[in-house]
Copies of this chain bind each other. A is one copy, B any other.
């Protein structure tokens, strides 16, 4: 068995799930594309559902790690911390664009796996975003805003270009798979954080100095 055959199986599965759909893909197709024996797939993942669950786990474990690394900066201020979380997530999602697209699309269905993911990973994610937003409000960095609606907006911004890759590429001619995209789009979300969440403190201070 090749050393990297597990990774090759996952890559092949994601490609096929994205193009032919989960139901339209057979274990045989995956084995052929990954250039492995179908028995390898059974060995690592039992069956196609095991492979699907593995994709979810791989994605969300890494996703949460990226969030946590940004969250660790909370003592440096909420705006700084939120920007770090956004930057990390976007970089990760750009580097794993096929997997991200597949997972985000699967998450829009109401299934048993999705409910389990929500009650573990999404609850942890909500805890971190809530903490950052509430700390920002307490310390006067952020406006007194509905925290849950802010999370809703932020999540919408973070997933849009990955879930709608074709729209974004074909209609807006923005290319999420290009290297500069993660940086450019992080800047855009920073503008949203500054404009929509932050208090006018800094603007006021500048005005007073000017006058």
- B156–A174 CB distance below 8 A: no
| Chain A positions 166 through 197: 1 when the CB is less than 8 Å from some CB of chain B, otherwise 0 | 11101111100000000011001001101111
Once the chains are docked, how many angstroms separate the CA of A101 from the CA of B109?
A: 10
- A149–B188 CB distance below 8 A: yes
- A126–B166 CB distance below 8 A: no
Chain A residues 104-118 with CB under 8 Å of chain B are: 105, 107-108, 110, 114-115, 118
A151: interface (CB < 8 Å) = yes
- A171–B207 CB distance below 8 A: no
Q: Flag the segment in A48-56, A59-67, A92-100, A157-165 that touches B.
A: A157-165
Once the chains are docked, how many angstroms separate the CA of A188 from the CA of B153?
A: 9
**Nearest Cβ in chain B — how far from A65, in angstroms?**
19
Once the chains are docked, how many angstroms separate the CA of A171 from the CA of B115?
A: 10
- Interface-centre pick from A19, A105, A166 (highest chain B CB count, 10 A): A166
Dominant secondary structure of chain A at its interface with chain B:
helix
Shortest Cβ distance from A146 into B: residue: B188
Once the chains are docked, how many angstroms separate the CA of A153 from the CA of B153?
A: 9
Q: 30 interchain pairs (CB within 8 A)?
A: A19-B110, A21-B23, A23-B23, A105-B105, A105-B108, A107-B167, A108-B164, A115-B170, A118-B166, A122-B171, A123-B171, A126-B171, A148-B172, A148-B174, A149-B184, A151-B172, A152-B160, A152-B188, A153-B157, A153-B160, A155-B164, A156-B157, A156-B159, A157-B157, A159-B160, A160-B160, A192-B195, A192-B196, A203-B203, A211-B211
List of 4 A-B pairs having minimum Cβ-Cβ separation, nearest first:
A156-B160, A195-B195, A195-B196, A156-B156
